[in-house]
Amino acid sequence: MTELHEVVAQREFAYSRRDFDRVRRLLFERAGIRLADSKDAMVYSRLARRLRILKLTRFKDYLAMVAHNHQEQEHFVNALTTNLTSFFREPHHFEALSTYLKQHPNTKRIWCSASSTGEEPYSIAMTVASVFGTFTPPVSIVATDIDSRVLQKAAAGIYSASGIEQLPPHYREQFFYKGKGAQLGKVRVADELRRMVQFETLNLMSPTWDIESPIDIIFCRNVMIYFDRDTQRKILFRMVKLMTPEGMYVAGHSENFTMYPELVRPMGKTIYRPVN
Ligand SMILES: C[S@@+](CC[C@H](N)C(=O)[O-])C[C@H]1O[C@@H](n2cnc3c(N)ncnc32)[C@H](O)[C@@H]1O
């Protein structure tokens, strides 16, 4: 009789359910991000690289280190954030931005609050530059994210050429340099456009935000979905307090705040006006 053996894939590092739960707790405390039960394999693969670099063999030891080491906390959060983004993602928001700027030529400040690798704030900058017809408009754009690694990529402004294929040709020509030689297949954001965006690290969970106000427009897209209801309301409340009464708050496609009429009122598809 043939004996059946269950084949269990041997993992490189010791990783238990308790470790996963600890990761979830630490990530929630540090970044407000709630990880679903189903994410345990993702956690393993994203953090394994850190254990390898640190020459550790057990997640338990790694997590003890994260609890006390500020620098490692940054790597920990960087490894676990989801940074998916693209140029002109949800294009109707940029049409709304263009209309808003034409109707409110006195707009002074735009905050892109979870900017990831930069495609979103540069899309904002392209829209602003197009409306004002200059690379030095009277509008400042601040782009922030918790993840220092994505902000480095954003500041460098180098992307795969395929990422801008869907842009109108005059945008590609006006706002990007084409890579040559070793940089073939890449594009770089034009220096004038890069200078329009100021990148800073900012954790939306921090009790204070180092950000100038009043702010006319806040882009806060596809980040609130990672937070629980209570955290979402707190962040929305704080953002609304920073905004001009005529301002515009832009949310992600699956983020809905109609249940907070005391804070915001809908003024378009996933776009809100602050109540303050
Ligand atoms: C899915 S990306 C969205 C990027 C962009 N807003 C968009 O819609 O294309 C989510 C971003 O939120 C950032 N993030 C997660 N938690 C954060 C926090 N507590 N404070 C600030 N940014 C955070 C992540 O680092 C990531 O870059």
Q: How far is the CA of 4 from the centre of ligand 1 (A)?
A: 46
Q: How far is the CA of 232 from the centre of ligand 1 (A)?
A: 13
Atom number in ligand 1 closest to CA 219: 6
Q: How many domains does the chain have?
A: 2
Instruction: Determine, yes or no, domain membership for 167.
Output: no
Instruction: Determine, yes or no, domain membership for 168.
Output: no
Q: Give the pLDDT score at 3.
A: 40
Instruction: Determine, yes or no, domain membership for 1.
Output: no
- Domain extent for 23: 17-80
Q: Give the pLDDT score at 7.
A: 41
Is 25 annotated in the active site? no
CA-angle at 250, arms to 262 and 163, nearest 5°? 165
Q: How far is the CA of 275 from the centre of ligand 1 (A)?
A: 24
Q: Determine contact, residues 205/234, Cβ cutoff 8 Å.
A: no
Rg of the chain over Cα atoms, rounded to whole angstroms, equals 21
Q: Give the pLDDT score at 1.
A: 38
Instruction: Determine, yes or no, domain membership for 176.
Output: no
Tokens read off for 253: 């496609």
Is 145 annotated in the active site? yes
DSSP state of 261: T
For a pocket test of ligand 1, which of 26, 34, 81 has the largest count of ligand atoms closer than 8 A to its C-beta?
Answer: 81
Contacts of 74 (CB under 8 A, 6+ apart): 148
Q: What is the pLDDT along the chain (276 residues), one digit of tens a residue?
A: 334 333 445 789 999 999 999 999 999 999 999 999 999 999 999 999 999 999 999 999 999 999 999 999 999 999 999 999 999 999 999 999 999 999 999 999 999 999 999 999 999 999 999 999 999 999 999 999 999 999 999 999 999 999 999 999 999 999 999 999 999 999 999 999 999 999 999 999 999 999 999 999 999 999 999 999 999 999 999 999 999 999 999 999 999 999 999 999 999 999 999 997
Instruction: Determine, yes or no, domain membership for 263.
Output: yes
Find out whether 78 is annotated in a ligand binding site.
Answer: no
Instruction: Tell me: do 207 and 72 sit in the same domain.
Output: no
Among 80, 114, 131, which residue terminates a domain?
80
Instruction: Tell me: do 128 and 259 sit in the same domain.
Output: yes
Residue located nearest, by CA, to atom 7 of ligand 1: 85
Tokens read off for 10: 């041997």
CATH number, position 51: 1.10.155.10
CATH number, position 107: 3.40.50.150
Residue located nearest, by CA, to atom 27 of ligand 1: 116
Among 34, 54, 80, which residue terminates a domain?
80
Find out whether 17 is annotated in a ligand binding site.
Answer: no
The Cα 155–Cα 153 span in angstroms is 6
Q: Give the pLDDT score at 9.
A: 57
Find out whether 85 is annotated in a ligand binding site.
Answer: yes
Instruction: Tell me: do 36 and 154 sit in the same domain.
Output: no
Find out whether 37 is annotated in a ligand binding site.
Answer: no
Instruction: Determine, yes or no, domain membership for 174.
Output: no
Instruction: Tell me: do 40 and 107 sit in the same domain.
Output: no
DSSP 82-139: -----TTSSTHHHHHHHHHHHH-TT--EEEETT-TTTHHHHHHHHHHHHHHTSSS-S-
Among 41, 60, 80, which residue terminates a domain?
80
The Cα 159–Cα 32 span in angstroms is 29
Ligand 1 neighbours by CB, cut-off 6 Å: 31-33, 81-85, 89, 114, 116, 120, 145-147, 150, 203-205, 221-223, 226, 252
CA-angle at 111, arms to 237 and 109, nearest 5°? 105
